[in-house]
Amino acid sequence: MAKDSIFRIFPGTEDLLSELRRGSVATAVATSSTKAHLNATLASSGLDLDRLVDHIVTGGPSLDSKPSPDLIQAALEKLAIDPQRTIMIGDTPHDGEACARAGVPFVGLLCGGQPPDDLSRVGALALYADPADLLGHLPEALRFPSRFSE
């Protein structure tokens, strides 16, 4: 990678996480990336994830990568919350499959380049263009967990 390359975050990511923080919504990031890879990505993007979320769970030897539910279950443990009272936002079918295995409602983002049908097939309750679009529909999205558990 060229020295001047920068990882770009999806539009609205920081605003969405900031709004969740302002609303006292507990948040966790569950990524299959290793801690070292995540730190390099964050350093390049300029996103201060530690300031924006409550917990970060990264991949490694003790947790299987998605579509295994391990990372999501570890995040749920850190949040100390029932899976059906949460929602996971993801952009890959692996995210949706991991959610299904962990019993967590899943909302899909299309900015990761996956076809909408692929995200719907793995159980996405809704699809949004990117975090900025989700932010514009946040009240609706935050109601998904209660609908999922009915």
Rounded to whole angstroms, the Cα distance separating 5 from 104 reads: 35
- Cis ω before 93 (30° cut-off from 0): no
Rounded to whole angstroms, the Cα distance separating 53 from 25 reads: 9
Instruction: Say which CATH topology domain 13-148 has.
Output: Rossmann fold (3.40.50)
Domain residue extents for the chain = 13-148
pTM, full prediction: 0.89
Q: Which tops the pLDDT comparison, 29 or 148?
A: 29
Q: What is the pLDDT of residue 148?
A: 52
pLDDT in tens, 90-128: 999 999 999 999 999 999 999 999 999 999 999 999 999
